[in-house]
Structure 1
């Protein structure tokens, strides 16, 4: 039997390779992922025929980014249903594949609810599987629509905060089409500014230790013809001091009920720098990233990742190394502190941009109002 997690070369042009797609070859339905661990050296797709393969892709960050994880989770439930696996068990496994990203569990719950509803309504397994797949596809479309609305709202906010254009934006991690059903979250705002002729420079943090900024954001900026410059995370302070940053735009993996923001580690120091230098610090995320059940920042579970991500430097696959191979950069046995995320308190966030507009200041009552409006829009 073929390896369900075996990579296959992506045959579409680079500008058209989607981060995630559902496919139905003769052998049966599959979920196809653009392997983000191999970018920018090569565009390779992973074919997942079951949930364990998808969970592996999630944990190794072959597929990543809060909104896209939600979409992947929903398609994962559909994949289990269509292929006749235990849907309840698959949903449980998927929902806990990465603890901090709230969208993953959200997407799983939506597809699972559709599956359960179809079964309770007297449908057979085929109809229930179809319902789960339809819900995953709906979530995929909705995320693309949310991305477009966030880009518009974010650009309007930038123009309000920084009249005259020529924005110099600093971003962290990767928040573009690789994390979304559309063109992304924070990156989509920068892209909208670029298309409107109002982006002077996109400053791209490397985002250590896994270099999502260097590998992925720079890759997306180059594909879109944006003016961008890469910097080490530790150089951001000198950039602020030189007056070269007009605004910081980041995404989010979870937003607590009080407005605290969990995002890729390194985001909180940027918020502190931005406050000291009187620079707007803007979070761009869909309302699905808000978790009203998480009371505050201290209640957010922060994922701790393997020490080797810090003690070794990964060798690009194109250099002939095996997956996961790395060059040691610290003495053998060195302990490492490697949280995947940090938490920024709401008082350091200038504004939160969602598909329903911008919230400023970011407060618990404002977050509650946003969630209420989002629920009403969904019900409508």
Structure 2
């Protein structure tokens, strides 16, 4: 792994979460933002696993994209050693599945990770069974599929933004939690996409960004990228959300999600559930923006979504300074689940879905 410090780079470059360049995965280390803009050149699968696990790359779509490229890095150096090309392809398919199994252990909650890995598995399996596809072509197609996942995500995010913007008006205040912007996706983001499009169209939407304890993705990432883009953004502490709602400063809430269950329950960064309850209490619509790949119809309700628990030091000694007594017991879930009853609408690339989610979410896949 090599490091490229681009602290003096342009705004547009700083907002690229990851890209494939010169046969390596170039990835923005988001744990260092906003003070340092540092790109890592990842050339091995274990480096991608570490980047996902340590949240150097984060956000469900970006995690999935990184994992797809990670599979390719895991098999790139695999060599054909059998005389029979079909045997070489079967061996490569086996290596693809082993690489995907390994990357699947990096983080448990974001369904895009498993969706992207399954898509790479399917591509490899198809090529392994196709007598017209050579071993070298099969390997090249794995990389091409990862690139395609990234390209599709960029277009998906733009469409989500266009649909979400129809729910907003010039001059309104919108609150968001965590980071579901360009740093979490290929480009634009999901929940933040309408803010970028609004600015392009001359609309002024005032964004309130929760700091998002304990890792401060709202403060370090959302506030950073929106400020850099010239979007009107105000940073608030998580426990101020109810106050700004009560003062009429917020007319809508929009967040991303790491997994949507079949009934419309959504898992998102810890604190989202509290925001949803507050929004309902104040009569404010609560919107969830996500690509179809985040909707998991195989998970009936939020009760079945695995919730990642992270290191206690994120709470007791975040960013190198201890703020809690030694030996204190800590509970640090990274996500919570917001019941579908609090979700006004789910915004996807195919349009806006409203309750009943059990009935309407499956229609997106027809």
TM norm. shorter chain > 0.5:
yes
User: In structure 1, what is the Cα distance between the partners aligned to 2:202 and 2:343?
Assistant: 26
C-alpha distance in 1 between matches for 2:179 and 2:64: 16
In structure 2, what is the Cα distance between the partners aligned to 1:155 and 1:225?
Answer: 18
Indicate yes or no: 2:209 matched with 1:212.
Answer: no
Structure-to-structure mapping, 1:117-132, within 5 angstroms: 117-122=126-131, 123-132=133-142
Q: Find out whether 1:109 has 2:118 as its counterpart.
A: yes
Listed one character per residue, the Cα deviations across residues 24-55 of structure 1 (whole Å, up to 9, x for unaligned) are: 2xxxx221101001111111011111111101
Deviation track 1:243-301 (CA, whole Å, cap 9, x = no partner) reads 11110010000000111000001100110000000001000000110011111010110
Q: Distance in 1 between matches of 2:365 and 2:317?
A: 42
Q: 1: CA distance between counterparts of 2:309 and 2:202?
A: 40
Q: Given the alignment, which residue of 334, 346, 358 partners 1:364?
A: 358
Matched residue of 1:158: which SS?
Answer: coil
Name whichever of 12-21 and 267-276 sits farther off: 12-21
Q: Deviations over 1:318-363 (max 9, x none)?
A: xxxxxxxx11111111111111101011110011000000011252
Deviations 1:6-26 (A, max 9, x none): 4222374232242111122xx
Kept in 2: contact 1:247–1:280 (CA 8 A): yes
Determine if contact 1:154/1:353 at 8 Å carries over to the other structure. yes
Matching of residues 262-281 of structure 1 within 5 Å: 262-281=267-286
Q: Which residue of 1 aligns with 2:36?
A: 42
Q: Distance in 2 between matches of 1:341 and 1:292?
A: 19
Q: Which residue of 1 aligns with 2:96?
A: 87
2:211 pairs with 1:201: no
- Find the residue that maps to 2:206 and give its secondary structure: strand
Equivalent in the alignment of 1:317: none
Greater Cα shift, 131-140 or 109-118: 109-118
Matched, 1:7 2:16: no
Q: CA deviation at 1:227?
A: 1.1
CA distance in structure 1 between the partners assigned to 2:233 and 2:305 by the alignment = 33
Q: What does residue 171 of structure 2 align with?
A: 166
Deviation at 1:197, TM superposition (A): 3.2
2:105 matched to 1:96? yes
Tell me, yes or no, if structure 1 residue 336 matches structure 2 residue 336.
Answer: no
How many pairs are equivalent? 348
| Counterpart-to-counterpart distance in 2, 1:13 and 1:243 | 36
Matched, 1:153 2:163: yes
**In structure 1, C-alpha distance between the alignment counterparts of 2:49 and 2:317, rounded to whole Å:** 24
Q: Give, in angstroms, the shift of residue 365 of structure 1.
A: 0.9
Which blocks of at least 5 consecutive residues in structure 1 are unaligned?
160-164, 315-325, 373-380
Structure 2, gaps ≥5 residues long: 79-91
Aligned with 2:248: secondary structure? coil
In structure 1, distance between residues paired with 2:164 and 2:105: 31
CA RMSD of aligned residues (A): 1.5
Supply the distance in 2 between the matched residues of 1:121 and 1:203 (Cα, whole angstroms). Answer: 52
Alpha-carbon distance between aligned partners in 2 of 1:351 and 1:194, rounded to the nearest angstrom: 23
119-128 or 147-156, which deviates more: 119-128
Aligned residue number for residue 20 of structure 2: 22
How far apart, in 2, do the equivalents of 1:32 and 1:129 lie?
A: 20
Residue 134 (1) aligns with residue 128 (2): no
Cα separation, partners in 2 of 1:8 and 1:362, compared to 1, 3 Å: farther
Q: Deviations over 1:108-128 (max 9, x none)?
A: 111122122222224444222
Match of 2:84 in 1: none
Residues 65 and 180 (structure 1), Cα distance of their counterparts in 2 relative to 1, 3 Å cut: same
Alignment of 1:319-358 (within 5 A): 326-358=320-352
**Runs ≥4 in structure 1, deviation > 6 angstroms?**
none
Q: Is the 8 A contact 2:64 2:115 kept in 1?
A: yes
1:296 to 2:294 alignment:
no
The 3-state SS of whatever aligns with 2:189 is coil
Is the contact made by 2:100 and 2:121 (CA closer than 8 Å) also made in structure 1? yes
Q: Does 1:286 align with 2:291?
A: yes
Whole-angstrom distance in 2 between the partners of 1:297 and 1:370: 19
